[in-house]
Amino acid sequence: MSFCVFSLCSAALLGQEKPLWLDADARSAQFPNSVYLTGFASGNDLEKVKLSAQTDLLENLRVIIESKTTSEMTSIAENDNYDEISLFRSSAEKSTTAEIVGMNIENYIDKKTNNIFAFAYVNKYELIGYYKANLTLQIQQAASTLNTAEQLEKSGEKAKARQQCEQAMPLLAKIRSIQDLLTALDNTANTTALKVIETEQMRNTLTQMQARLAQGVYVYVESIEDLFGQKVDIVANKVKAELAKNGCSFTEDAEEADFKLKISVSTRHSSNDGGNVFCFADTMVELHDNHKQKVVYGDEFAQKGGSTTHDRAGRKAMDDVVPKIAEKLKSWIQ
């Protein structure tokens, strides 16, 4: 949870009278629960005492959320709106994660005892007004982001669609925390006012889209392979076959890929031994993660192969380097 503190007031100046909020009864009269959320703490460390007062305010809010949630669900159950019960339960987290905008903190130091007191408070109606407007804004942003993701998925731009889904997740989490807070503070708040059904549909849309997008990782493969002057695709094709076993799909559009894989292979003569010829397949591999926008893996392999001719020995070396490359790539392509 986080705080957004707008003002810090101190009553620690010499000669200043004790504030009224030191007394519990006076505090309740000056800052009634019907209008304010409050928190109170004391101790001997100023920063810790102020933090404790803020925490106490948030704990009071959490208790209100739990109480209001139980009350709302009982009311819904009495009307047999079972679908609404499920939606309300999913939206009410019973936890306080929203920022408390406009929180004030006052502190007082008793010069005689050196005890420190802190009092945190915020006007409920100011919070309600702010978060009603903010809820509408957050829902609009989440809907727009999900719509963009759907359009990108339809056009086959899987990587970009996945990025939009990642942007939608914190927006929906923010919406849920705002719904929690308004549930606790606003007596007029209900599933309709909070747009619970609408946001639950967005969460379902996001979950289903992520499941579809996670069915396979897209890889773009670029290869240059030279088999004693002959251009081939031996290593690239066999690496693709191995990665396909790991759930990878392949695209001809580098911008749509999750990863870009570059393979460079050249062959060279090594030695002769009786009737056999031995050659090396010198291979360089580079894997670029499009999401992270950086090269995540790179390596070089000098794989030896033998057969009766240079061509066959070179092909054997190329074949034998594939399992080594595939094994390394599988730990990075997920």
pLDDT on residue 8: 47
φ, ψ for residue 12 (rounded to 5)?
-95, 5
- The answer to whether residues 182 and 128 touch, using CB atoms and an 8 Å cutoff, is yes
pTM score over 0.95: no
Whether 90 and 179 map to the same domain: the answer is no
Domain that holds residue 101: 3-123
Q: What is the CATH number of the domain that holds 53?
A: 3.10.28.20
Nearest to 58 by CA among 176, 187, 181, 171: 181
Ranges under pLDDT 70 in the chain: 1-16, 69-99, 156, 215-216, 334
Pure H helices in 105-233: 124-154, 158-185, 196-213
User: So what's the pLDDT on residue 21?
Assistant: 96
Task: Give the pLDDT confidence score for residue 15 in this predicted structure.
Answer: 46
pLDDT of residue 171: 94
Q: What is the pLDDT of residue 303?
A: 95
| SS3 at position 198 | helix
Q: Could you say which of 178, 193, 213 is where a domain stops?
A: 213
pLDDT for the residue 83:
47
Q: Are residues 18 and 100 in the same domain?
A: yes
Q: What tokens does 77 get?
A: 């159950």
pLDDT score, position 156? 63
Q: Is residue 136 located within the same domain as residue 116?
A: no
Same domain as 146, residue 103: no
Both tokens of residue 180? Answer: 């929690």
Q: What is the pLDDT of residue 333?
A: 80
| Number of independent structural domains in the chain | 3
Convert the pLDDT of each residue in 235-288 to its tens digit: 999 999 998 887 788 888 888 788 999 999 999 999 988 789 999 999 999 999
85 and 131 belong to one structural domain: no
Q: Quick one: 200 and 225 in the same domain?
A: no
Q: Give yes or no: residues 203 and 224 share one domain.
A: no
Are 274 and 163 part of one and the same domain? no
- Which is it for strands 230-232 and 248-250: parallel, antiparallel or unpaired? unpaired
> Is 195 in the same domain as 157?
yes
Q: Report pLDDT digits (tens) over 165-201.
A: 999 999 999 998 888 888 888 888 888 889 989 999 9
Residues 35 and 98 in one domain: yes
Q: Are residues 63 and 155 in the same domain?
A: no
